[in-house]
Amino acid sequence: GAGVSQSPSNKVTEKGKDVELRCDPISGHTALYWYRQSLGQGLEFLIYFQGNSAPDKSGLPSDRFSAERTGGSVSTLTIQRTQQEDSAVYLCASSSVGDGSYEQYFGPGTRLTVT
């Protein structure tokens, strides 16, 4: 079946511009997560959606970052007034209860470069 998809795969933007990154989770997965992978920092949690509950935004690094999930499916991560330190690969994952492990399935990521 289809996995998690993300778009665009690569995004180059100028410092100060806003960007939107999109994630399509696996159909039927109720939980959706955003992570950031950057050199020297590994993978960092950003934000998490589960069903109709309020999202867990505890990982967002600043108020320039926001995300929404429409209709319990597609999610958009928005970064306003991008800075060079925002350059990273942004990963989306989704999960369901599955076998009880709540395994997360990752998308290919969006590589963001801020010039």
Partner 1 sequence: AQSVSQHNHHVILSEAASLELGCNYSYGGTVNLFWYVQYPGQHLQLLLKYFSGDPLVKGIKGFEAEFIKSKFSFNLRKPSVQWSDTAEYFCAVNARAGYSTLTFGKGTMLLVSP
Residues that bind partner 1 (CB under 8 A): 30-31, 33, 35, 41-45, 48, 50, 56, 59, 91, 93, 95, 97, 99-109
In whole angstroms, the minimum distance from the beta carbon of 17 to partner 1 comes to 26
- Cis peptide leading into 8, omega within 30 of 0? yes
| Beta strand ranges found along 14-74 (DSSP E) | 19-24, 31-38, 42-50, 65-69
Cβ nearer to partner 1, comparing 14 with 51:
51
Cβ nearer to partner 1, comparing 30 with 87:
30
In whole angstroms, the minimum distance from the beta carbon of 18 to partner 1 comes to 25
Burial class for 106, CB neighbours closer than 10 Å (0-12, 13-18, 19+): middle
Q: With CA atoms as reference, report the closest residue to 75 among 2, 6, 3.
A: 6
Cβ nearer to partner 1, comparing 57 with 80:
57
